[in-house]
């Protein structure tokens, strides 16, 4: 996997990145002991930081001939549709099981504890379409891998995955089928909100 942090890929020294990082609240021990939860709801409350987040993704993807923005439930839904509208693409929700009413294809994936599943409507994406996958955060990469598989199973080309927050990969930790991953900021250990 090719992992790219925005600060090292065209946005070096860009003050917007620090402001985006500062707008994300860190909640220790949520939802369980030891997890430093990265809460993007505070980013959504900060109009400037929220707009800058969307703008950075739009600038990156607007001229890449992308026709599909696939957003991962639930927090990928908070960024994906705005990006899709701005770049002239459709938005495709990738949902947790039993939420989509039509015919679906499903892909199971492993979480740190247990497993989950993502579903996509059959017919939402056509073979040959160029897609990006959006989520708020990548940890193990299991969720993004499932999203990539769904899109590839219907013949779409996944151009890149994009996340607001991402840990630096420990070698071999993530398997994103060799797809590039673009990340805006690293998680913070303490809250500066
Ligand atoms: O890289 P991974 O290890 O797969 O983890 C990342 C995923 O975990 C979180 O979602 P979560 O599964 O908590 O679901 P939610 O957004 O519905 O709360 C986050 O929003 C990503 O989708
Ligand atoms: N530390 C974290 N904060 C928010 N969402 C997460 N999903 C997986 N790990 C997370």
Question: If you classify domain 2-189 with CATH, what class do you get?
Answer: alpha beta
112 is catalytic: yes
pTM above 0.90, yes or no: yes
Centre of ligand 1 to C-alpha 141, Å, is 9
Residue 102 — pLDDT band, cuts 50, 70, 90?
very high
In the chain, beta strands by DSSP E: 3-5, 25-28, 36-39, 68-72, 90-94, 104-110, 115-121, 130-138, 157-166, 181-185
Helix extents (H) in the chain: 15-23, 41-45, 47-61, 80-87, 142-153
How crowded is residue 16: how many other Cβ atoms within 10 Å of its Cβ?
17
Structure tokens at 176: 């994103």
Q: For residue 75, indicate whether it is catalytic.
A: yes
pLDDT tens-digit map of 39-86: 999 999 999 999 999 999 999 999 999 999 999 999 999 999 999 999
Q: Of 3, 8, 95, 112, which is the active-site residue?
A: 112
Q: Is the ipTM of this complex over 0.95?
A: yes
């Amino acid at each position: 996997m090719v992992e790219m942090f925005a600060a090292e890929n065209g946005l070096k020294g860009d003050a917007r990145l620090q402001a985006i990082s500062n707008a994300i609240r860190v909640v220790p021990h949520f939802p369980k002991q030891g997890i430093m939860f990265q809460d993007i709801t505070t980013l959504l409350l900060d109009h400037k930081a929220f707009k800058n987040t969307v703008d950075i993704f739009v600038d990156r993807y607007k001229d890449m001939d992308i026709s599909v923005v696939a957003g991962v439930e639930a927090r990928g839904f908070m960024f994906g549709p705005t990006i899709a509208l701005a770049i002239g693409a459709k938005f495709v929700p990738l949902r947790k099981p039993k939420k989509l009413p039509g015919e679906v294809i499903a892909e199971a994936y492993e979480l740190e504890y247990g497993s989950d599943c993502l579903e996509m409507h059959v017919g939402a994406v056509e073979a040959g379409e160029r897609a990006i996958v959006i989520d708020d955060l990548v940890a193990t990469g299991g969720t993004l891998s499932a999203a990539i598989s769904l899109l590839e199973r219907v013949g779409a080309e996944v151009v890149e995955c994009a996340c607001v927050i991402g840990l630096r990969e420990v070698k071999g930790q993530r398997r994103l089928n060799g797809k590039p991953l673009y990340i805006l900021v690293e998680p913070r250990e303490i809250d500066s909100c």
